[in-house]
Chains A and B, each alone.
Chain A
């Protein structure tokens, strides 16, 4: 039944791949999580040595975008590996059986793997009116989450809805849509939760978290909102390819204007990069090369990973850049030219640096001041 159990590391192929390609994949995943390259071997051992971890996937107020994002992971080996890496016991969109058959299987899996299965949840939990706004097999999503999370080894909330409430929790939150970890906390359930927000989330952030758990038998290091630090440790603004334009004061002021065409910073169109923690500019989407993320395509980030930003702050209102500290000086950005005496170069760099520093500081010091924002709108 379990192919991985039979395919040891000495076999010619693992999960249908050559041993070399398989190890390469594991090393790539290790680096993606900020682990040393050598850890790839350890991940490979963990993946092949044990029985695949059982996973039950509960869907609440969701749009299936989180499942789609996983299916769109086009890394050559990833789709196949994830299907053979975990043992997916229950997933409404993928189950063959319907109705009673589906629910019977869920009960059977929960009993058989009690305390060992990973519960993945996508979609927010409606708690208003006793949770009647989402029902599966006659049970509310609220009661199902409590029932399934109690006996789970860990809960992985995939997507913004289950991580912090997402779009259904937008004002006026008609159904009382609530994040999974908040529901569990209110019910006193202590099962550890990891949040992978994003609308949709990057599939590799989810897959890396699962691989980390399979390898080390614990969740990766998390931030104060239970997000893995390897993926959500920095704001988008820090790694944005348009950051030099921000620092130099070059902005797109309207869609289609000269600045927008030239790929300038989208801050003044309402980009929430300065207050949103995610690795979008680094991890990108769909494995199609550079630029495959919202800002790369010319649209401002709308802060989907961040509670209180995505679907909450108006799309085109300026971000509140609370995490940006203006540098005291800017380092040399122009490469040295041959034939220029070192002293001259240093002097020129110093002058250029000071000029850029002054311009950058002027831009940054203006942010967050309401008067300046009003002026910006008048431009």
Chain B
């Protein structure tokens, strides 16, 4: 008999992470991690002057 556990949010990391795992007889049989936030920076970068790409890409993560 498998059951599913969801941990959301995962704290003490940068960003919004969620972990789902399936457990069968005390063993993890399957697991998924997923980012719960999307800003579309790739989409924002399209068509811009390459010289200003860095001000966007360096802000993927501020840590």
Contacts and interface: CB of A to CB of B under 8 A. Distances in A.
Interface residues of B, number: 31
A174 interface: yes
Interface in B1-45: 6-16, 18, 36-41, 43-44
Given A168-B40, A174-B39, A315 B11 contact: no
A134 B16 contact: yes
A171 B44 CA distance: 6
A200 B56 CA distance: 13
Contacts of B61: 63-64
A65 B16 contact: no
Interface size of A as a range: 35 or more
Contacts of B52: 314-316
Interface in A83-126: 92-100, 102-103, 126
Contacts of A173: 44
A343 interface: no
A246 interface: no
A120 B36 CA distance: 20
Nearest to B11: A95
A174 to B, nearest CB: 3
Given A63-B60, A199-B59, A316-B51, A136 B39 contact: no
| Chain B binding surface, main DSSP class | loop
A170 B56 contact: yes
Interface string A7-40: 0000000000000000000000000000000000
Nearest to A91: B11
A182 B16 CA distance: 23
Given A174-B44, A315-B49, A64 B37 contact: no
A267 interface: no
Contacts of B14: 63-64, 93
A244 interface: no
A59 B59 CA distance: 15
B7 A99 contact: yes
A133 interface: yes
A138 interface: yes
Interface of A: 59-68, 92-100, 102-103, 126, 133-138, 141, 167-168, 170-175, 177, 199-200, 302, 311, 314-316
Given A61-B39, A315-B51, 5 more contacts: A92-B9, A92-B16, A95-B12, A96-B11, A96-B12
